[in-house]
Every structure is written in structure tokens, then in C-alpha cells.
């Protein structure tokens, strides 16, 4: 059996470090998006305080914003995996961008739709 050379020890140590960074990124990304979703949910619930908007539009705002938050939060998973999964990095970063942009577009369109219906 061959013994581990210093190069392989350093190489595996770097891989472990990148793996820890990737997992830490995923955990922090999800925690931040859970906090953001909680605050956005409270704001969405209070958005129709005057009662001017249609209840269906208000429900669309609440669920559309939460759906967009779920997509933006889920985008952190492929981004964190891209830290250490080198052979799939391009695909994972494209998936991150796709999920994040789709979530942001959903939130923006629902927000615009709700507040344009109130004027």
C-alpha cells in the first residue's frame, strides 16, 4: 500500500475546506431567506389594510411573494454545491441564476400587479 504524500493531504484538506464553505453558504443562504420570507409575509398580510384591493389579488400577492421566496431560497443549494463540485460548476451556477432570477421576477410581477390594481 502506498502512503499518502504531502500533496494529497493538502489537496484533500483543501477539498474539505471548500466543502465546509459550500455547506456553510447553503445554511446561511437558507437562514437569510427564511428571515426575509417571514418579514415579507408580515408585510404582504398587512398590504391590504385599507381594503381597497380585491381579496383574490391580495391572496395572489401573499402566495406569489412566498413562492418567489422559495425559489430564491432554493437557489442557494446549487450555489453552495458549486463550491466543491468542480465538474458540475457551470451547470450549478446556471441553475442558481435561473432559480434566483425566476424567483425575483415572480415577486416583482406579483408586487406590480397588486399595487397597480389598487390605483
CA distances from 92 to 35, 74, 83, 88 (A): 24, 12, 10, 6
pLDDT of residue 10: 47
Indicate whether 79 belongs to any domain.
yes
Residue 68 domain-assigned (yes or no):
yes
Which segments in the chain show pLDDT lower than 50? Answer: 7-10
> Is 2 within a domain?
no
The per-residue pLDDT for 86 is: 84
The pLDDT value given to residue 2: 54
Q: Does 104 reside within a domain?
A: yes
Q: What integer pLDDT is reported at residue 99 of this predicted model?
A: 97
Does residue 51 come out as left (phi exceeding 0), alpha (psi in the -120 to 50 range) or beta?
left
Closest CA to 116 of 42, 68, 74, 60: 60
pTM score: 0.81
What's the domain range around 80?
7-117
pLDDT at 81: 93
Residue 14's pLDDT is 57
57 assigned to some structural domain: yes
In a domain, 1, yes or no: no
Domain count, the chain: 1
Q: Which helix (H) or strand (E) holds 22?
A: helix 6-46
Amino acid at each position: 500500500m502506498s502512503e499518502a504524500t504531502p500533496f494529497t493531504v493538502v489537496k484533500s484538506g483543501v477539498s474539505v475546506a471548500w466543502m465546509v464553505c459550500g455547506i456553510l453558504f447553503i445554511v446561511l443562504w437558507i437562514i437569510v431567506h427564511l428571515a426575509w420570507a417571514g418579514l415579507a409575509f408580515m408585510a404582504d398580510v398587512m398590504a391590504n389594510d385599507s381594503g381597497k384591493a380585491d381579496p383574490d389579488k391580495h391572496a395572489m400577492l401573499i402566495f406569489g411573494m412566498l413562492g418567489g421566496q422559495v425559489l430564491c431560497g432554493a437557489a442557494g443549494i446549487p450555489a453552495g454545491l458549486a463550491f466543491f463540485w468542480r465538474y458540475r460548476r457551470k451547470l450549478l451556477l446556471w441553475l442558481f441564476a435561473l432559480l434566483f432570477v425566476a424567483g425575483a421576477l415572480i415577486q416583482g410581477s406579483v408586487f406590480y400587479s397588486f399595487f397597480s390594481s389598487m390605483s
